[in-house]
Amino acid sequence: MLDETAPTDISIRLTNVSKTFDGASGAAVDNLSLDIERGTIMALLGPSGCGKTTTLRMINRLTEPTAGTIEINGVDVMSQSAQELRRGIGYVIQQVGLFPHRTIASNIATVPTMLGWEKSRIAARVEELTTLVGLDQELLDRYPDELSGGQQQRVGVARALAADPPVLLMDEPFGAVDPIVRKRLQDELLDLQNKVSKTIVLVTHDVDEALRVADRIALMNVGGVIEQLASPDELMRAPANDFVKSFVGQDRGLRRLALNAVSALRYHQGPVVDGGATYDDAEQVIAMEGTDWLGITIDGRFAGWTKVNDVRAAHANGSPLADVERFDPIAQIEPTSTLRAAMELIMSSNSSVAVINDGGSFGGVVTLEDIRRALSSAHIETADGTL
Amino acid sequence: MTPGPLPSALVAQATNPIIEWEWVVEEWDQIWRAIVEHVTLTMMAMALGLIVSAFLAALALRRRWTMTPITATTSLIYTLPSVALFALLAPVFGNLSRWTAVLPLAGYTLLILVTNIVAGFQAVPPSVRDAADGMGMSRARRIWTVDLPLAVPFIVTGVRIATVSTVGMVTVAAIIGQGGLGRLIFSGLRRAFWTPMTVGASLSIILALVIDAMILAIGLWLAPWQRRRKGATP
């Protein structure tokens, strides 16, 4: 996530932009300024009628601003013809808007065809994009009506990326598909973004979608007023005002959990010792952690939990620590799991701790208290600074 | 659309068969000429009707306010009795001119054609237009390569209805000496000789069906995406 102090490389800059539609009483967007950093995803989030779509459409001039300037890579969008401008900007909409009378291949090739690319180059690009967005090559000869909603939306994205534009505008791109497909498409968008690093402006009214995919969120209110511009975590942690609080909902804490991975915590060992440790060492750990359970690792792997009573009995018998009866840990997580997943696992396994399984070896433990503390701190502490 | 007063044909009904095949063979040249004339008149009327309708529809789509007067005028033309219209135009262009028949015939197609062309363009999904514009497609390119192809199924439907009714209407033009197969029908009726009437009537029906099927086929060829639908896999 972004650091406020890092040097920025602005791709899209809106300066004092306003739009008043003919016959409307108030401005749809009033004096909006916004910088969007190159290679990042900016979500314009807000209730319907807040001007987020108008803002998006002013960037490619489907709506002409009444006042203010919009620059892409330092060039005023008004300085070139609208058609030329739009051919250099990918555009994806909720209803996809595929051309029903053209095959999938021909749909994807729309902009390259307009730009006069050679046939062989277009064919190669279409094939490349098909792979990139995860579509089957055999769909290329079909018509849009023969595809599912999710497939159509992938075609929409491929078509928008066809001429490799540096900027991609997405207007509620996943609004028309069911929640399961939507989540998959959101994941695919993030994968795609890792490969193509576009500057993406995404309009949505779905808080979860913004939190999942955006690097920065501009939460907008009626009139295109930006109530808060922040990273997803910051928006959840420190909502700027009551509007933000009510829009993002009561479960901000839980949503923050979903935004951060277990790896964001500073791991600690917990009541865990190596199977080869002495009983004195074990007693020391038990005393320090104050628990009834002691974890045993063997060869760096977590081997299971033992009951403290069993440990002491074994000590009295003189049998080795490694032979004490062990119970498999139910709650095991990966460092890449979200804190939310960790919490759910801890709760559902009816224990108070989850064991971090870091590629097979013991990474540490996570307790509910760790998670609670992470959320209450201003920044979630990590080994390498703050998020 | 029905021909004028019937002569005393009904009296003769009993004495003369519905069709005499000998006559058909003997008069085949005349029948063939009537078919050709019938098709020619239909095609001329349709071509003229399509050209005028295209202009009117374009006007109605660009200037919304013109839609109402255009619809009112074409509806009015449509309601005029065909016999009366042919009769009125005969002194203007003369009995022998094809235009005397073609003009009213074309006029009758306008309502159906304009309505269907306009409906076809209006049925283009706004999201498709938005996507085309958003990708930097010029207006002209969008109209010719997106809007028009998508309107084709509607236009073809209009052309089918208009053509079939024109094939029927051409027979009426026989009252001004045109009319292709209509002339066979009328002459049969006048002479109380059923064979030409049967031949003219059945051929005009067959002609209507054949032309309709042909336009349907052309429509499907023009809109291949309409043929296969919904084979979607989730």
Q: What is the pLDDT of residues A142-198, one digit of tens each?
A: 999 999 989 999 999 999 999 999 999 999 999 888 888 888 899 999 999 999 999
Residues A232, A380 share a domain: no
pLDDT at site B228? 61
Q: Do A237 and A274 belong to one domain?
A: no
Mean pLDDT is lowest, of A21-25, A115-119, B15-19, for B15-19
| Residue B59 covered by a domain | yes
**Is A367 in the same domain as A269?**
yes
The answer to whether position A307 is within a domain reads yes
Claim to verify: residue A233 and residue A361 sit in the same structural domain = no
Residue B231 has pLDDT above 60, yes or no: no
Rounded to whole angstroms, how far apart are CA atoms A242 and A25? 26
Give domain status of residue A5, yes or no.
no
Asked if A256 and A236 count as a contact pair (C-beta separation under 8 A), the reply is: yes
pLDDT (0 to 100) of residue A302: 85
Q: Enter the pTM of the model.
A: 0.77
Query: Quick check: is B179 in a domain?
Result: yes
A387: tokens are 């998020």
A153 interfaces chain B, CB cutoff of 8 Å: no
| Residue range A67-94: mean pLDDT, rounded | 94
pLDDT, average across residues B120-136? 95
CA distances to A126, A168, B94, B105, B178 from B97, in Å: 57, 63, 6, 14, 8
Counted domains in chain B: 1
CA nearest to B157, candidates B118, B105, B203, B204: B118
A267: domain CATH number is: 3.10.580.10
pLDDT at A86: 95
Q: Over chain B, what is the mean pLDDT?
A: 87
Quote the number of domains for chain A.
2
Closest CA to A174 of A156, A159, A158: A156
- pLDDT (0 to 100) of residue B192: 83
Judge whether residue A42 has pLDDT over 90: yes
Q: Is the pLDDT of residue A224 over 50?
A: yes
Spatial distance between the Cα atoms of A370 and A193, rounded to a whole number of angstroms: 32
Q: Are residues A46 and A190 in the same domain?
A: yes
Nearest chain B Cα to A161, which residue? B135
Q: Spell out where chain A has E strands.
A: 10-19, 29-37, 41-45, 67-72, 75-76, 89-93, 167-171, 199-204, 216-221, 225-230, 272-274, 293-298, 301-307, 332-333, 353-358, 361-367, 381-382, 385-386
- Domain co-membership, A186 together with A141: yes
Q: How far is A386 from chain B (nearest CA, A)?
A: 40
Residue B9 forms part of a structural domain: no
Segment A226-247 mean pLDDT: 91
Q: Which of residues 105-144 of A touch B (CB under 8 A)?
A: 110-111, 114, 142-143
Query: What CATH number corresponds to the domain at position B126?
Result: 1.10.3720.10
Segment A79-93 shows an average pLDDT of 94
Q: Is residue A169 a part of any domain in this protein?
A: yes
Residues from chain A that touch B228, judged by Cβ atoms under 8 A, are 142-143, 146
How large is the ipTM? 0.78
* Domain stops at, among A250, A276, A310: A250
- Residues of chain B contacting residue A96, judged by C-beta atoms under 8 Å apart: 127, 131
Do A82 and A179 share a structural domain?
yes
Please report the DSSP string for B10-52 in residue order.
HHHGGGS-S--HHHHHHTHHHHHHHHHHHHHHHHHHHHHHHHH
Domain shared by A178 and A207, yes or no = yes
Q: How confident is the model at residue A259 (pLDDT cuts 50, 70, 90)?
A: confident
B135:A147 CB<8 A: no
Q: Give residue A198's domain range.
A: 10-250
User: In whole angstroms, how far apart are CA A45 and each of A74, A145, A192, A232?
Assistant: 25, 30, 21, 11
Flag whether A279 is in a domain.
yes
Closest listed residue to residue A210, CA positions, set A241, A186, A185: A186
The conformation of residue A75, written as its DSSP 8-state character, comes to E
Q: Is residue A257 part of a domain?
A: no
CB contact under 8 A, B125 and A95: yes
Amino acid at B82: S
pLDDT at position B155 is 95
Whether the CB-CB separation of A140 and A103 falls below 8 Å is answered with yes
Q: What is the mean pLDDT of residues A91-117?
A: 94
The confidence band for A7, taking pLDDT boundaries of 50, 70 and 90, is low
Whether B13 is covered by a domain: the verdict is: no
Q: Residue A43 maps to which CATH number? A: 3.40.50.300
A193 and A312 share one domain: no
Q: Is residue B7 part of a domain?
A: no
- Rounded Cα gap, residues A240 and A235, in angstroms: 8
- pLDDT for A385: 38
Share above pLDDT 90 across residues of chain B, in percent, rounded to a whole number:
57
> pLDDT digit string (tens) for B17-39?
888 888 888 888 889 999 999 99
Question: Exposed/middle/buried for A287, CB within 10 Å: 0-12, 13-18, 19+?
Answer: exposed
Q: A135 with A225, same domain?
A: yes
Q: Which amino acid is at B86?
A: F
Alpha-carbon gap: A83 to the closest alpha carbon of chain B (Å): 4
pLDDT, tens digit (0-9, with 9 covering 90-100), for A315-335: 888 888 888 888 887 788 888
| In-domain check, residue A193 | yes
Instruction: Find the CB nearest B135 among A86, A94, A142.
Output: A86
Please check whether residues A322 and A347 belong to one and the same domain: yes
Tell me the residue length of chain B: 234
In the block, which residue shows the tokens 């994205």? A157
Query: Is residue B76 a part of any domain in this protein?
Result: yes
B131/A96 Cβ within 8 A: yes
Position B2 pLDDT exceeds 70: no
Residue A386 clears pLDDT 60, i.e. is over it: no
On average, the pLDDT of chain A sits at 87
> Are A192 and A340 found together in one domain?
no
- B55-77 residue pLDDT tens: 999 999 999 999 999 999 999 99
- Dist. CA A362–CA A366, nearest whole Å: 12
Residue B143's domain spans which residues? 18-224
Distances (CA, A) of B145 to A84, A147, B59, B132, B222: 18, 22, 19, 10, 13
- CB of B50 closer than 8 Å to CB of B43: no
- Report pLDDT for A23: 84
- Give first-to-last CA distance, chain A, whole Å: 6
Residue at a domain's end among A222, A250, A278: A250
Q: Chain B residue closest to A96 (CA)? A: B127
What CA–CA distance (Å, rounded) separates B163 from A21? 45
For A282-320, how does the pLDDT look when each residue is reduced to its tens digit (9 = 90+)? 888 888 888 888 888 888 888 888 888 888 888 888 888
> Measured between CA atoms, how close is A95 to chain B, in angstroms?
6
Nearest to B134 among A86, A99, A147 (CB): A86
What residues in A contact B151, CB-CB < 8 Å? none
- What is the structure's pLDDT at A377? 66
Distance in Å, alpha carbon of B54 to nearest chain A alpha carbon: 21
Task: Average the pLDDT over A109-127 and give the result.
Answer: 95
Nearest CA in chain A to B152: A101
SS3 of chain B: helix, strand, coil, percent, to 5? 80, 0, 20
- Mutating which of A57, A72, A99 best tests the B interface, going by the most B Cβ atoms within 10 A? A99
Which has the closest alpha carbon to A301: A228, A239, A361?
A361
End position of a domain, from candidates A201, A225, A250: A250
Mapped onto helix, strand or coil, the DSSP state of residue B202 is: helix
Q: Is B123 on the interface with A (CB under 8 A)?
A: no
In this predicted structure, what is the pLDDT of residue B58? 95
Q: Mark yes or no for CB contact B135/A159 under 8 Å.
A: yes
B60 belongs to a structural domain:
yes
CB contact under 8 A, B128 and A98: yes
Q: How far is CA A268 from the centre of its chain?
A: 27
B207 assigned to some structural domain: yes
- A87 at the B interface (CB within 8 A)? yes
Tokens of residue A368, six digits: 């509910």
Q: Pick from A88, A148, A169: which is nearest to B232 by CB?
A: A148
CA-based nearest distance A106→chain B, Å = 12
Least confident of A344-353, B97-106, B198-207: A344-353
Q: Are A82 and A100 in contact (CB under 8 A)?
A: no
A109 lies in some domain: yes
Distance CA A301, CA A329 (A): 12
